[in-house]
A and B are shown apart, each in its own frame.
Chain A
Amino acid sequence: MASQGLTYDGCNFFRQRLVLATLSGKRVKIKGVRSREDNPGLRDFEASFIRLLDKVTNGSRIEINQTGTVLFYQPGLLYGGSVEHDCNPQRSIGYYLEALLMLAPFMKTSLKATLRGVTNDPTDPTVDLLKSTAVPLMKQFGIDGEGFDIKVVKRGMAPGGGGEVIFTCPVRRSIKPVQLTDPGKIKRIRGVAYSVRVSPQMANRIVDSARSILNQFLPDIYIYTDHMKGANSGKSPGFGLTLVAETLNGCFLSAEMSSTPQGQGDPVLPEDLGRNCAKLLLEEVYRGGCVDSSNQSLALLLMTLGQQDVSKVLLGPLSPYTIEFLRHIRDFFQIMFKIEVQKPLEDERKGGDKVLMTCLGVGYSNINKSIK
């Protein structure tokens, strides 16, 4: 056990295992990757993810057996710097970016990653969503300063891709502990309705239908339309919507929906997409908390890596992915969270149960960071 580090079975939660291994410096072995399927072993997108990890680190050792069913990873130092990567279009850039967001503040030099591939697909959080929720969340933990940005240069819808995203992030020596226990009321809703290689009218139709639902709650709603043309529009047609609700205390709750990728099932009407996305946002408001469901694990990771002080964050119900992430945090950092369920009062109309997560940070300090 000691020589092998941690061992896991199967390819689920692949990214969180490798990310936590990198941050904690522990070796990890993942075996039985799709070993019973007709097409066993790691997929192309996973291989692409490993290559990206190899690019941002220095001295990592990665061994994969011949069938690709066993992976051994010995993490190196997080190096950062300027990185370019062609993300495999089987998954969108969000898949890769979610992991990079967790690693970027702990690099030796600040990261500038140019990622090419699919910017928006229905499976993973899109780059637009991460830009409008993950970035402000990380700022709460003291990761800010100039050049902390996710920029969509070219949009590329699934399945063709052809998009380009530039992610820049400064490095930090340590992470600030936070007390996010009261989200406050929602003061405004913003959004982006995007369309590429279809009529620009699609975006307007999405906006109208989404507004028709959200205007029941708030007058302050603004949904931008973003229609990219020519070389910036990628290889496949499509459209979608990202909605973000901002609260008085600076918390962000988001929802999104993308059109069905070309040739992969029934097409959707922009009106339906707008309405369903608005309902998803209402669901997210019902879940509530200071961090929305797609960023729960990022918040919990930054709490874990904070200075040796108590951090508290109020979340909505824990997603299955987050529950597994908590187990992995225990494996890699020996940190267990205090989990308290907060039931809403009888006459309160503030959605469902909330979960208050409390932990003591491990006092992680970024030894990679160069001193200037």
Chain B
Amino acid sequence: SEESESEGEAGRARDSGHCSEEEEEEGSDDEEEEDDEEDESMEEEGSAADGVVKSEEEEEQGALRWKEGLQQKASEAFLRQQEAAPNLRKLVYGSVVEADDSEEEEEELGGLFRVSRPQKSKKFQANARDCSRFNPDSSHNWDLEEMLNSIRDCFVTGKWEEGQDAA
């Protein structure tokens, strides 16, 4: 159907986005190493990355630490970005039913018993509590100065744009 096609497309688009993100990160990684060691050839680099880390461990431990788990960091950052900026129109008006159907799978125990997880099923969602409250983002810690600074300009006491005045 049309809807499933668009779903598929979304999936592919997401995948390709993921790849390019990783490549970018790896690219910057390569450049960095080139600066460190000029006589190291490009072909070796992929496999030699570990060796480089070991040989210069003593001098550059601090400098190289940021490279640890780069791929994981990149994918985490990407996922965070995806969550923060989804295609809202698709999220709101896209096909909801299909997304839910895929979740309905039942585990079997010893080929005889079925594990029932009503909390996860579509039925449970449909019968959840009817309430308009929007729970706050739990990752925001309003004890931190950083968080407080992120909203300073929402108040009249904050910085004003050019051409605007408190008067």
CA–CA, A293 to B133, complex, Å?
8
Stretch in B14-22, B88-96, B102-110 with 4+ CB within 8 Å of A: B88-96
Say yes or no: B133 contacts A125, CB within 8 Å.
Answer: yes
CA distance A339 to B91 in the complex (A): 11
B136 at the interface (CB under 8 A from A): yes
Q: A9-B126, A280-B136, A326-B93 are in contact. Are A321 and B154 (CB under 8 A)?
A: no
Chain A residues within an 8 Å CB radius of B127: 10-12, 32-34, 36-37
- The B-contacting residues of A in range 303-356, CB under 8 angstroms, are 318-323, 326-327, 330, 336-339, 341, 343, 348-353, 355
**Residue B118 at the A interface, CB < 8 A?**
yes
Q: Give Cα A327–Cα B133 distance, bound, in whole angstroms.
A: 18
Among the 9-residue stretches B36-44, B63-71, B143-151, the one with 4 or more Cβ atoms under 8 Å from chain A is B143-151
Q: Does B140 contact A (CB under 8 A)?
A: yes
Q: Mark B80-98, 1 if CB is under 8 A from A, else 0.
A: 0000110011011100100
* Bound complex: CA A286 to CA B149 (Å): 10
**Of A294, A320, A351, the contact of B151 (CB 8 Å cutoff):** A351
Rounded to whole angstroms, the CA-CA distance of A371 and B106 in the bound complex is 60
Interface residue tally of chain B, by bracket?
Answer: 35 or more
Q: List residues of B (109-131) whose CB comes within 8 Å of A's CBs.
A: 118, 123, 125-131
Give complex CA distance A37, B129 in Å.
Answer: 14
With a cutoff of 8 Å between Cβ atoms, the chain B residues found around residue A128 in the complex are none
Q: Which of A32, A216, A218 contacts B126 (CB 8 A)?
A: A32
A201 at the interface (CB under 8 A from B): no
Q: Are B136 and A320 in contact (CB under 8 A)?
A: no
Chain B nearest CB, measured from A339 CB (Å)? 5
B123: which A residues are within 8 A, CB to CB?
9-10, 32, 35-36
Are A12's CB and B130's CB within 8 A?
Answer: yes
Please name all residues of chain A whose beta carbon is closer than 8 Å to the beta carbon of B148 when the two chains form the complex: 216-217, 282
Verify B132–A124 contact, CB threshold 8 A. yes
The residues in A between 220 and 275 inclusive whose CB is less than 8 angstroms from any CB of B are: 248
Residue A61 lies at the interface, judged by CB distance under 8 Å to chain B: no
Q: A282-B142, A326-B93, A355-B88 are in contact. Are A187 and B132 (CB under 8 A)?
A: no
Judged by a CB distance under 8 angstroms, whether A186 is at the interface is yes
A187 touches B156 (CB 8 A): yes
Interface 1/0s, chain A 67-106, versus B by CB < 8 A? Answer: 0000000000000000000000000000100100000000
Query: Given that A280-B136, A321-B131 are contacting pairs, would A12 and B153 also be in contact in the complex, using a CB cutoff of 8 Å?
Result: no
- Given known A-B contacts A323-B92, A349-B158, A12 and B125 have beta carbons under 8 A apart: yes
Contact present for B153 and A13 (CB under 8 Å): no
Label chain B's interface by main secondary structure: loop
B88 to A, closest residue via Cβ: A339
B residues in contact with A319, CB < 8 Å: 132-134
Closest to A286 in B: B151
Residues of B within 8 A of A282 (CB): 142, 147-148, 151
Q: Does B56 contact A (CB under 8 A)?
A: no
Contacts of A213 in B (CB 8 A): 142
Q: Are A349 and B134 closer than 8 Å at their CB atoms?
A: no
Q: Are B85 and A343 in contact (CB under 8 A)?
A: yes
Quick check: B89 and A217 within 8 Å, CB to CB? no
**A13, A279, A286: the one within 8 Å of B130 (CB):** A13
B90 to chain A, nearest CB (A): 10
B96 touches A327 (CB 8 A): yes
A63 on the B face (CB < 8 A): no
Contacts of A327 in B (CB 8 A): 92-93, 96
Query: Other than the known A248-B156, A282-B148, A327-B96, what 11 A-B pairs have Cβ atoms closer than 8 Å?
Result: A217-B151, A217-B155, A283-B136, A294-B132, A296-B134, A319-B133, A319-B134, A326-B93, A349-B151, A351-B151, A353-B84
Question: What are 18 A-B contacts defined by CB distance under 8 Å?
Answer: A12-B126, A185-B153, A185-B156, A187-B156, A217-B157, A218-B157, A283-B140, A294-B133, A294-B134, A297-B132, A318-B88, A327-B92, A330-B93, A337-B92, A339-B89, A350-B154, A351-B154, A353-B85
